Chains A and B, each alone.
Chain A
Amino acid sequence: KAGVTQTPRYLIKTRGQQVTLSCSPISGHRSVSWYQQTPGQGLQFLFEYFSETQRNKGNFPGRFSGRQFSNSRSEMNVSTLELGDSALYLCASSLGRQGVNTEAFFGQGTRLTVV
C-alpha cells in the first residue's frame, strides 16, 4: 500500500510569489490535514479536509488556503510569500472517521525556502 505522497519535496521561492503544494493520501483515506513545522514554532495545524470540505482551520492568515478534490488529493496554496513562510510543510492522511481515535499517517513533507 503506497504511503502519503507529497510533492515537491523541496522548493525555493522568492518573496511575493505564490506556491502550491500537493498531497496524495493513502488509498481509501478521505481526510487530509496540513501542518507547518518550523524550528521556532514547532508543528502548527493549518487545516483539515474531509470529503472536499474544510473541517477545521488553524490560526494562519488568509494567504494560506487549501482544497481537496473528489479523489481525496489535496493542495495547499500560499500567496504573497514571506520569509517567515520558510518551513517544512507536512501532510497527514487518515480514514477520516468522525472521532478522536483517528490515526494519521504523514508524508515526508515539502521543504519550502523563501528567499
Chain B
Amino acid sequence: AQKITQTQPGMFVQEKEAVTLDCTYDTSDPSYGLFWYKQPSSGEMIFLIYQGSYDQQNATEGRYSLNFQKARKSANLVISASQLGDSAMYFCAMREGVVTGGFKTIFGAGTRLFVKA
C-alpha cells in the first residue's frame, strides 16, 4: 500500500506567488514525523521543514510552511513568494517505526515545481 502520496507530478507557479504542494500519508503508528525535501537538478536532497504527529502548531521555516491536517492525514507544503530558484523536485517523506522499532523514512513520488518569470 502506498504510504506517501503526492498527486501532482508537476506544478507551475508564477514568480512571487504562493504555491501548495499536496501530500497525503498513511500510517498506523501513533507517533510519526513528516518531512519535506527539495531536490534541485544537482541531485542533492535539501531538508526544508519537519512536522511531528503530536505538534499542535503547523511548522514554518521562512517561506515554507506545512499545512498539517492530522484527521485527513495530509501534510501539504506551502511556499510563499515563489522564486526562480524554487524550481526543483519536492519530496514529502514520513518517518515511522515506534510500533515496529525498525525506524525508516519513506518518500513520496515527488512533485516537480516550475517557477515562471
Q: Which residues of A are at the interface with B, using a C-beta cutoff of 8 A? A: 33, 35, 42-43, 45, 48, 55-56, 58, 88, 90, 92, 98-109, 111
Task: Establish whether residues B102 and A111, one from each chain, have CB atoms under 8 Å apart when the complex forms.
Answer: no
B104 to chain A, nearest CB (A): 5
Task: Establish whether residues B103 and A98, one from each chain, have CB atoms under 8 Å apart when the complex forms.
Answer: yes
Within B95-115, the residues touching A (CB, 8 Å) are 95-98, 102-110
Q: Which residues of B are at the interface with A, using a C-beta cutoff of 8 A? A: 29, 31-33, 35, 37, 42-47, 50, 52-53, 91, 95-98, 102-110
A69 to chain B, nearest CB (A): 20
A35 to B106 alpha-carbon distance, docked (Å): 10
B106 to chain A, nearest CB (A): 6
- 10 A-B contacts (beta carbon < 8 Å): A56-B97, A56-B102, A56-B104, A88-B43, A90-B43, A92-B105, A100-B29, A100-B31, A104-B47, A109-B43
Q: Which residue of A lies closest to B42 (CB)?
A: A108
Given A48-B104, A100-B103, also A106-B44 (CB < 8 A): yes
Task: Establish whether residues A55 and B102, one from each chain, have CB atoms under 8 Å apart when the complex forms.
Answer: yes
Task: Establish whether residues B103 and A55, one from each chain, have CB atoms under 8 Å apart when the complex forms.
Answer: yes
A42 to B107 alpha-carbon distance, docked (Å): 8
Note all chain A residues with C-beta closer than 8 A to B32.
Answer: 100
A52 to B42 alpha-carbon distance, docked (Å): 30
Known: A55-B103, A102-B103. 16 other contacts (CB 8 A): A42-B108, A42-B110, A45-B105, A58-B104, A88-B43, A100-B29, A100-B33, A100-B96, A100-B97, A102-B95, A104-B35, A106-B37, A106-B45, A107-B44, A108-B42, A109-B44
A48 to B95 alpha-carbon distance, docked (Å): 12
A104 to B29 alpha-carbon distance, docked (Å): 20
Task: Establish whether residues A108 and B44, one from each chain, have CB atoms under 8 Å apart when the complex forms.
Answer: yes
